[in-house]
Structure 1
Amino acid sequence: MTRQSITLTDPNDEWIKSQISTYHEYSNKSELINDLIRQARRADMINQKLALSEASGTVNQNKEDMLKEFKEKLK
């Protein structure tokens, strides 16, 4: 993994801290930020796939196969 240093605005830092303390799903800021990035990447892939599908007029995959593909690409 690559170590990064980022600067957060005060409201964003407070929101991240509250997510960690309230939901206990993440043990630190890095875990939460990595999850947010994964969610954004997933949304981007879905939007790209939808745009291609809309442009072509047809879809060759069912929703389960599309989801499986997205999850594989995020690993």
Structure 2
Amino acid sequence: MTRQSITLANQNDEWLKQQVANEEFTSKSEAVNYLIKKARERQEYDDFVQMKIDRGIKSGFSTKTKEELLVEIKKRLNV
């Protein structure tokens, strides 16, 4: 692993210390790595959702009625 030196706001440092004291993590480094991992996962999810939104917008508006859409969805699901 790469060793880093970072500066934390006092409240963030106290929070990290409390997490270690409560045995949520074994060290502040473990807690920071966990938080970064969660932020990366969240970013991947946000990117995925944005891609779906963009695809929907690009496809345009449907001219089908709700009933027609429901029939089409049921056909796709083999219901």
TM-score relative to the length of structure 1: 0.71
Identity across the alignment (%) = 43
- Where does structure 2 lack aligned partners over 5 or more consecutive residues? 57-79
Aligned partner of 2:74 in structure 1 is none
Q: How many angstroms apart in 1 are the aligned matches of 2:25 and 2:15?
A: 13
* Moved >2 Å (runs of 4+): none
Aligned partner of 2:46 in structure 1 is 47
Q: How many angstroms apart in 2 are the aligned matches of 1:7 and 1:48?
A: 29
1:9 CA displacement: 1.2
Letter in 1 for 2:55: S
Letter in 1 for 2:20: I
Q: How many angstroms apart in 1 are the aligned matches of 2:11 and 2:17?
A: 10
Q: How many angstroms apart in 2 are the aligned matches of 1:25 and 1:13?
A: 15
Alignment coverage as a number of residue pairs: 56
Letter in 2 for 1:9: A
- Where does structure 1 lack aligned partners over 5 or more consecutive residues? 58-75
Q: How many angstroms apart in 2 are the aligned matches of 1:10 and 1:47?
A: 30
